[in-house]
A = this chain, B = another copy of it.
């Protein structure tokens, strides 16, 4: 691809720009031939910076557990996984990434019954102020956090879905426990922003990291909304695929 130029005095430190570029290169498999990052001196020359600056970048990546520097040998790539998340009419989280990770868990972080604000009510086709169940969940694949979601469910239809999710770690299973056997993905909106401190904390991201946001509406087979969800995915670990 393009030249490895970086820009100064932009509000983003050079070492961070370089760390972000190397992270993407690793993710793209650019260094798969050797399983190593090029030597610091080579990277410094490529980016046109001092070797100390490259060292700062690699130290940040080592902190994230992506590389490990070994004296006298070089800098080893520890992890280069990007999970693919398929989106379709039958979008489900766990089976969707099931064959890409050994262990998939869903953790209930928080839940509460709250009056629906105008936006949520509109999506779920309720009157504003109607009580809804809000559910915050964290999903992990092989121990790595891959998404952080906030969902809203209409009440009283899905009373107790929080307890069911806590037990099963799966939305599909929690729906089944509430008597909903099948559901469909009606619409998904995808955007991307910088991770906020909450994302960094919950998902274990570094500052300046990117999260992709999927806003999704699920309905039952009759087209009645059953869930509106806003899910935040770390962009360096996840990508989406839409099959038509």
Contact = CB atoms under 8 A, between A and B. Distances in A.
A19 B13 CA distance: 16
A157 interface: no
A192 B1 CA distance: 16
A3 B197 contact: yes
Copies in the complex: 2
Main secondary structure of the interface of A (DSSP, over half): mixed
Given A5-B197, A193-B20, A197-B5, A207 B242 contact: no
Contact of A2 (B84, B197, B235): B197
Residue of A12, A82, A190, A192 contacting most chain B CB atoms (<10 Å): A192
Nearest to A185: B244
B187 A244 contact: yes
Given A184-B244, A244-B187, A7 B192 contact: no
A89 interface: yes
